[in-house]
Amino acid sequence: MLNFNFFLGIDASKDFANVALLSGASPKKYKDFKFDQAANGFKSFLKWLLQQSKNDLSKLFVCVEHTGIYIVEICNFLEEHEISYTLISPIALKRSLGLQRGKSDKVDARRIATYAFKNRDDLPIHRLATADLRELQALVTYRKRLQKSLQAIRISAKELALVETFGSVAHISADSERITKELAESMKQVEQKILALIDTCQDIKKKFDIIKTVPGVGWLTAISFIIYTQNFVAFTNPRKFACYAGTAPFEHSSGSSIRGKTGVSQMANKKMKTLLTTSAWSAINHYSEFSDYFNKKVDKKGKNKFSVLNAIRNKIIHRVFAVVRKNKAYVPA
């Protein structure tokens, strides 16, 4: 971590943000500020920052609680003015604080500032994903939303028709069929937009094509690897990404009394984990390299099939990172 003199915590919501500033020389004294997430609000925030830092923003380090899309404008502002910052997840912040009484936006901003000061030597400097990656993520998220809506309407209408006979059933079934067709068409259009956007980004396109050569990895899993690794900038180590995706096994033991099974953590990106599970089953069903491995471990050695499935998920992750690192398509052993 560089030598920072001031540490700022930001607790952001949809319309405004609370900030708290502390000095490394006096970490128990805070200066509080609140601004609207609008053009005038950011102007007043910048003016306040310059006053507090004596016009030297290079000595300022900012910690922002990650609250989804509400922090995008703040991150853009910080990067525009070359202010170093990092992001912290709400659960990481909460667990770091221990037992706490009371809660308010002002207090939360102070707690974030204190967290930044105490962990100043370990926090990485963050950068927003590129506009292309953020657009891809928005499209993939929207596609997932359409898919869930389509499944919900289709299944509920089908189940209603199985158990009810009143007159409106026919109308509900017909209307549900019309809506599902429209949703399916919307999904198709979104997928076309995703693939078209990938084609316009040479670096993303190249990695996308290479990743798809890994057994079991389809187009959606490939683009999710690119999105969640920020095109392999945020993650360069497959083990760390496996931890992020919830497939890395961890020991569970303590002293002589606790001897739990080694297992994966529930703190994970569940979307990526689900995609990796689908990829693993696809690899087992269509590629002898993985089906032979699965059958050998399960049938001959008596291993738990879900443990073996998780091993295959990790094999896929390591192969994806390997082909990206080598910049070459996957070649079976």
**What CATH number does the domain containing 67 carry?**
3.30.420.10
- Shared-domain flag, residues 151 and 105: no
pTM to 2 decimals?
A: 0.84
List Cβ neighbours of 219 (8 Å cut-off, separation of 6 or more): 195, 208, 212
127-136 burial code (b ≥16 CB/10 A, e <16): ebbeebbeeb
- Domain membership of residue 124 (yes or no) is no
Count up the domains in the chain and report the number. 3
For residue 215, CA distances in Å to 34, 170, 209, 238, 289 come to 51, 44, 13, 17, 9
Let me know whether 100 and 191 are in one domain.
no
Do 82 and 159 reside in the same domain of the chain? no
Q: Which of 118, 148, 163 is the last residue of a domain?
A: 118
**Does some domain include residue 245?**
yes
Per-residue pLDDT of the chain (333 residues; tens, 9 = 90+): 558 999 999 999 888 999 999 998 888 899 999 999 999 999 999 999 999 988 889 999 999 999 888 899 999 999 999 999 999 988 888 888 777 777 788 999 999 999 999 998 888 898 888 899 999 999 999 999 999 999 999 888 888 877 777 878 888 888 999 999 999 999 999 999 999 999 999 999 999 999 999 999 999 999 999 999 999 998 999 999 999 999 987 766 566 555 556 766 777 889 999 999 999 999 999 999 999 999 999 988 888 899 999 999 999 999 999 999 999 999 887
Overall size of the chain counted in residues: 333
CA distance 271 to 273: 5
Let me know whether 38 and 142 are in one domain: no
Do 99 and 140 belong together in one domain?
A: no
Question: Is residue 164 located within the same domain as residue 225?
Answer: no
**Long-range contacts from 326-331, C-beta under 8 angstroms, 24+ separation:** 327/206, 327/210, 328/210, 329/209, 329/210, 329/213, 330/210, 330/213, 330/214, 330/215
Three-state DSSP string of 182-206: HHHHHHHHHHHHHHHHHHHCHHHHH
- For residue 246, the tally of other CB atoms under 10 A from its CB is 19
Residues 92, 148: one domain?
no
Residue 207 lies in a domain: no
Residue 240 and residue 262 in one domain: yes
Q: Report d(CA 140, CA 154) in Å as an integer.
A: 21
d(CA 268, CA 7): 29
Contacts of 35-39 spanning 24+ positions with Cβ under 8 A: 37/12, 37/70, 37/73, 37/74
The parent domain of residue 31 ranges over 6-118
| Residue 171 sits in the same domain as residue 231 | no
